[in-house]
Structure 1
Amino acid sequence: MELAMHDNKSKAPRLSLKHLLGRNAGVASIAAFFIVCALAFTLTTHTFLTAGNLLNVLRQSAPLLIVATTMTLVITTGGIDLSIGSTLALVGALSAIALRAGAPGIVVLLGGLTLGALIGAINGYFIAFAGMPAFIVTLGTLSVVRGIALLITQGYSVPIENNGWFVELGRGRLLGVPTPAVIAIATLLAGWVTLRHTRFGRYVTGIGTNSEGVRRAGVDVRAVTLKVYVLSGAAAGLAGLITTARLGSGSSNQGVGFELAVIAAVVLGSTDLFGGRGTILGTLLGALTIAVLGNGLILINVSPFYTQIIQGAIMLLAIWLNTRIFSAQRRKKG
């Protein structure tokens, strides 16, 4: 009898570990892939693992990390936001124009965040209250917002002065860490707490799992959905401000294809493309994997044109794996 109890106790940790790995197979796989990529570039280049290069990767990937955090919430509800790249461009271009006109940096910062949130609110209204598909709505705003940015700038870049605290938003450092990276880390932490430890996060997950059930429980599903898209738009606006500050100019051509990289990072991180399950840790690993791949391929002198091909292939692979993993889980539950 004692021997049997001892055997059961010895099996318990193994069973729990197996269960844990099973539930987080997607995150574990992207973590392993990220480590393999980092090791490969470390062995094939002399500069990848240097502090300067790693800090540069963090600085350049900050906009991706920021927007991917809120995109995780969007996709967890079962939606999608294709307008983030255009929002980034419009906010970036308008912020550059405002700075050249003499507007205070704080006004430009708050205005950019407000504009991004407003674009998100427009998306959220048509999706949540008008009942239109998220793909169609955000595809439409993608075109409209990008068109406005092109109209305002006439296709030209708008340079800004390389001084002042606004520029530090994209080029500065805080305790030796690039300011954009600090902002991205804070955003990721806020996203993790929101999704895992707040009522709002539970509503987001519930909407993706069973929207009607959440509605019948007394939750205002439309209001929650609207807030998710407002957050997505505000994050894209912040990314536009940081990008303009880092590059020293605003342009209507910024953020082209940005939405694809963000969605790839989220899906690669094992957030369920059909909603109901999101992971900020997975999103972090997915975004860093894309950033490391782009940086490492350049360091080994691979043409940047191949980078886009590789990222597209990774996105297809991620969606395929995502679909197979979560379809299998649904069949088991059923």
Structure 2
Amino acid sequence: MSTPAQISSVPTPATRLRPRGLKDRFFANGGVGSIAVFFVFVVVLFSVATEDFLSVPNILNILRQSSPLLMVAAAMTLVITTGGIDLSVGSILALVSALCAILIQAGIPWALVVLLMLACGGLIGALQGFFVAYEGIPAFIVTLAGLSVIRGVALLTTGGYSIPIPATLSFVELGRGWFLGVPVPAIIATGIVALAFVLFTQTPFGRYVTGIGANAEAVRRAGVNTKAVTLFVYVLSGTMAALAGVVLAARLGSGSSNAGQGFELDVIAAVVLGGTSLFGGRGTMVGTVLGALTVAVIGNGLILAHLSPFLTPIVTGTIILVAIWMNFRIFRGAARKR
């Protein structure tokens, strides 16, 4: 027999059909809402503090520089939503950047080089995903080892030197080119993010990714090959890191084993800032885009404000910590109260 408390807790038709107001929807999506507010805040702050921040050349520069971050953050959203993490993306970026320059100097057509590098990134992701999904080793351990090993391979391959790429090759247009007044890297990143959004929100695969992070056993019992899904998100992460390495090498006109130092931390910060849970089961591609742009805007704004380069990481880290605190403590706390 149902108690009064149980009966009163059952939603009535009127309750279920009651439309949500704008404020209700905002708090229900506290992660995205908080980063949206914070993004507007930093844009206004740097617009007031510097003269050139809102200039068209600087905005286009931000879009160009944030493109590798957006590409990898889109894939990292899937990885973290499953409850995993990939610390090796910066090292994959560096290795691919260096290999691009080496292979192009060896006379291999650059289009083939790009395909080989994407395959290389996917293969590295598959190897790491195998240990995570099929061997049950924590993703943090696997990708931390990958971070060290892959960076070491890059250093061993190049001897620590930067390898130039001829500026006359059309390959450099992948990083420096323009199309209809928009940087080519920004166009590539937009396409990647759009595909990731559709994959994450409109396909069964995206639902499996979220389900694995929330309750992997329940998803497995529903007949889903959770190990294959988990492996595939690491393949995507490695492939996107490789694409970012290709774009970076094209933009800089060289390949370096020292590229991407700390890149993985920027990627993870962008994803978490956007409202994706580090514990898995909840992710948002829109929030990730806002998080990546926020990280890019902070870095660009601090440079325009002429802060010491030694002070920049301190300020950046503090701002990111405050933003995440707002996300977890204020907006989500308010959502629970409602």
Which interval holds the TM-score relative to the shorter structure?
Answer: over 0.9
Indicate the residue corresponding to 2:144 in structure 1. Answer: 139
The superposition leaves residues 256-287 of structure 1 with CA deviations (integer Å, 9 ceiling, x where unpaired) of: 10000000000000111110111111011111
Q: Which amino acid aligns with 2:215?
A: N
TM-score by length of 1: 0.92
The answer to whether residue 199 in structure 2 is matched with residue 198 in structure 1 is no
The answer to whether residue 50 in structure 2 is matched with residue 45 in structure 1 is yes
Q: Which amino acid aligns with 2:289?
A: L
Q: 1:326 to 1:200 in 2, by over 3 A?
A: farther
Indicate the residue corresponding to 1:3 in structure 2. Answer: none
| CA drift at 1:164 | 2.1
Please, which of 202, 210, 217 is the counterpart of residue 215 of structure 2? 210
Unpaired runs of at least 5, structure 1: 1-7
Q: Which amino acid aligns with 1:216?
A: R
| CA drift at 1:318 | 4.8
Indicate the residue corresponding to 1:177 in structure 2. Answer: 182
Return the alpha-carbon distance in structure 2 between the equivalents of residues 175 and 220 of structure 1. 43
SS at match of 1:304: coil
Asked whether the 8 Å contact 1:267–1:322 carries over to 2, the reply is: no
Asked whether the 8 Å contact 1:168–1:245 carries over to 2, the reply is: yes
- Aligned 1:64-103 pairs, distance under 5 A: 64-103=69-108
The answer to whether residue 289 in structure 2 is matched with residue 284 in structure 1 is yes
The answer to whether residue 258 in structure 2 is matched with residue 253 in structure 1 is yes
| CA drift at 1:323 | 5.2
Asked whether the 8 Å contact 2:125–2:238 carries over to 1, the reply is: yes
| CA drift at 1:185 | 0.6
Q: Which amino acid aligns with 1:137?
A: V
The answer to whether residue 191 in structure 2 is matched with residue 186 in structure 1 is yes
Corresponding pairs, count: 324
Indicate the residue corresponding to 1:231 in structure 2. Answer: 236
Return the alpha-carbon distance in structure 2 between the equivalents of residues 219 and 21 of structure 1. 33
Asked whether the 8 Å contact 1:272–1:322 carries over to 2, the reply is: no
Indicate the residue corresponding to 1:33 in structure 2. Answer: 38
Which of structure 1's runs of 4+ aligned residues deviate more than 6 A? 329-332
TM-score by length of 2: 0.91
Deviates more, 1:78-87 or 1:185-194: 185-194
| CA drift at 1:305 | 2.3
Asked whether the 8 Å contact 2:80–2:280 carries over to 1, the reply is: yes
SS at match of 1:233: helix
The answer to whether residue 270 in structure 2 is matched with residue 270 in structure 1 is no
| CA drift at 1:326 | 9.7
Indicate the residue corresponding to 1:295 in structure 2. Answer: 300
Indicate the residue corresponding to 1:243 in structure 2. Answer: 248
The superposition leaves residues 80-107 of structure 1 with CA deviations (integer Å, 9 ceiling, x where unpaired) of: 0000000000000000001111110111
Unpaired runs of at least 5, structure 2: 1-13
Asked whether the 8 Å contact 1:267–1:318 carries over to 2, the reply is: no
Identity %: 61
Q: Which amino acid aligns with 1:230?
A: V
